[in-house]
A and B are shown apart, each in its own frame.
Chain A
């Protein structure tokens, strides 16, 4: 009996180990496709052919409320669950550790680089990418909703050399660089660009009583994909975590 319990626990442990092993797509490997990092959203991962490419820039852009942060947090949680290390470079000091925890992220094991000038942010991102071992670096360039003049502040982001440098750094370290931006910034330097748009937000509750925000629907379309098919589109519902 004791032996059976031990064998059972060993099997369970082996199953846990095997379920955490990143999947290797043989067809992808043979077709010279870059390895992928799962975003943690099955439908989106399927459209993207297994996730976002490692060693390349992936852009996630759209207006405020389109779910850029939510997707990045879900990707972070998925990467951490697979035993990968993630860094979040936060240009506007807007990252919320509590929101991250709600999304399944372990904030204690996430390197959070906070609030700096745009030049410092880019330098910090480059340093993170140069440190081999981080599988996902998130460059969060989302300005607060009330701010204007992002284009003026972010003049350095218009320079092709900026993105070329980051692209090379990502290639060297084989880390996926996920860029969160209000509009497409990296242009042709990104291998994958996902355009996000908010559809609607559902509110529940009695007609004249207090309502509760319960769901937000967004559309994600693949506007650039150098490693796969362009033009895929997905509608995703985001349920509020109250």
Chain B
């Protein structure tokens, strides 16, 4: 198993507060570590995030893409430079700790890449000072000092010298850690790669100094932020299923907004439009100091359109349409519906419209008079004879009933003790209108529930 270690050496104090911060910005400094992990994930699916300065990735099998390990390492370093990670070093070896050793050795020598060829590790390591070996191995800092003191006392300065002593004497003088160190010096490393579950939280922040009152500067600063988010999503083959905004206002208030696009988004323009429309619909009530954009991610599968079926709306266009409809009509007015699993004539829940195609339709629908519901139902005055409606008055309707069918009694939740709530009637008026009437059983009140058309 070949492992590549991406190592970010600690920056000198003057650099950490000077050049790097100025060049890449405050946000970038905060996102250096996630950016490093993203960089690793963009090359291999098997990645171990080993703290703030080190990330390991397995590169076995990447030879067909990059031909040589050196080529791969150079490509990673170039990508790191493009992402603003200018000080990264890469080390490649047959084990995790050896790869880290290679990376640290590269930094010590003023290089950015070191490769320990398989089977030749012991020879290449032999000249490396034991101090680098100890630093690279997973030993606690106070134990490192103790171990280095013993090694100096024994006159061991390089890894080659450590490899030469017998394992028995290494064990008796240096303990278990010493044995592990000696195996490393011999080029043997069987530390397993611990790949972690993907952290799906993607968050970006924008600081406004001074706080801004209008949407224009927010939109201007949002673009690079959203582009960074989209890059992170693309690296992880994810899409934005939910956009969450935390708007920090001048008076210390925080506004929380959630945008639910119809389809998972990957395009910066579509995402920007969603945020812009949300902010235009309900602008922040005060000057904005900071804007946090957090993304709820969803795995998506790029798929080829069906050759035999008509194409649907593009995800970005659909998301934009839903946002525009929300801004024109108000939230929740452009949805899909899911009828509830009960006998109530007009009970349903609204769900987010998603452009999913209906499967092959095996069930053919009925063609008959269909109900148009009145929401809310209209109060009606009904004259009855022997309990059957004979005349209906509701709004502008004032007509005798020519035919009636009913009563149909429904109560929505049979497990309750309540009596039937309502009895329903289908009636035809003399003017040929077909209506659905309801009578509340407890109060005797008549309601016009809808019409058939």
The chain A residues found within 8 Å of chain B, CB to CB, are 16-18, 20-22, 41, 63-70, 73-74, 77, 80-85, 93-116, 120, 123-124, 127-128, 131-135, 142, 144-148, 198, 201, 203, 205, 210-213, 215-216, 236, 238-241
Interface string of B398-442 (1 = CB under 8 A from A): 000001111000000000000000000010100011110000000
Contact assessment for B318 and A104 in the assembled complex, using a CB-CB cutoff below 8 Å: no
State in angstroms the CA–CA spacing of A20 and B357 once bound together: 13
Q: Is the CB of B405 within 8 A of A205?
A: yes
A123 nearest CB neighbor, chain B only: B328
Complex Cα spacing A77 to B448, Å: 28
Query: Cβ of A146 and Cβ of B397 under 8 Å apart?
Result: yes
Task: Assess the A69–B378 pair: CB atoms within 8 A.
Answer: no
For A239, the chain B residues whose CB sits under 8 A away are: 366-368
How many Å lie between the Cα of A65 and that of B357 in the bound state? 31
A and B contact pairs by CB, cutoff 8 A, 13 listed: A64-B432, A74-B365, A81-B361, A83-B357, A96-B450, A97-B338, A98-B347, A104-B366, A107-B339, A109-B355, A109-B357, A147-B395, A216-B369
Contact A96 B428 (CB under 8 A): no
Partner of B339, one of A73, A101, A124, A215: A101
Q: Which of B335, B366, B375 contacts A241 (CB 8 A)?
A: B366
B453 within 8 A of A: yes
* Contact flag A146-B396 (CB < 8 Å), given A64-B433, A213-B434: yes
Chain B residues numbered 340-359 whose CB sits less than 8 Å from any CB in chain A: 345-348, 350-351, 353-358
B453 x A112 contact (CB < 8 A): no
Interface assignment of B308: CB less than 8 Å from any CB of chain A: yes
What's the tally of chain B residues with a CB closer than 8 Å to chain A?
Answer: 70
Task: Find chain B residues with CB under 8 A from A203 CB.
Answer: 403, 405, 428
Q: Are A127 and B310 in contact (CB under 8 A)?
A: no
B358 pairs with A106, CB closer than 8 A:
yes
Question: B448 to chain A: which residues have CB within 8 Å?
Answer: 146
Contacts of B353 in A (CB 8 A): 109-112
A216 touches B366 (CB 8 A): no
Whether B432 and A65, one on each chain, are in contact in the complex, defined by CB atoms closer than 8 angstroms, is yes
**Taking chain A's interface residues, is the majority helix, strand, or loop, or is none over half, making it mixed?**
mixed
Indicate if the CB atoms of B328 and A134 lie closer than 8 Å. Answer: no
In this complex, what residue of A is CB-closest to B361? A81
Q: Which listed residue (A107, A210, A238) contacts B337, Cβ 8 A?
A: A107
Residues of B within 8 A of A82 (CB): 309-310
- CB of B350 to closest CB in A, whole Å: 8
A112 and B317 CA atoms in complex are apart in Å by 17
| Given A63-B432, A80-B361, A112-B337, A211 contacting B348 (CB threshold 8 A) | no
CA distance A114 to B324 in the complex (A): 14
Instruction: Return chain A residues, CB-CB under 8 Å to B405.
Output: 203, 205, 210-213
Q: Are B406 and A144 in contact (CB under 8 A)?
A: no
Inter-chain CA distance A92–B434, complex, in Å, is 18
User: Does B370 touch A at the CB level, under 8 Å?
Assistant: yes
Residues of B within 8 A of A198 (CB): 432
Give the CA-CA distance A144 to B450 in the complex, in Å: 8
Knowing A128-B321, A212-B405 are in contact, say whether A109-B339 is a contact too (CB < 8 A).
no
Q: Is the CB of A83 within 8 A of B317?
A: no
> Is there contact, CB below 8 Å, between B365 and A142?
no
Residue of B308, B312, B346, B348 near A20 (CB, 8 A) is B308
Chain B residues with CB below 8 A from A216, complex form: 368-369, 434, 452
Cβ of B302 under 8 Å from chain A: no
Within 8 Å by CB of A133, from B338, B355, B428, lies B355
Return the 4 tightest CB-CB contacts between A and B, nearest first: A104-B365, A133-B313, A146-B395, A241-B366
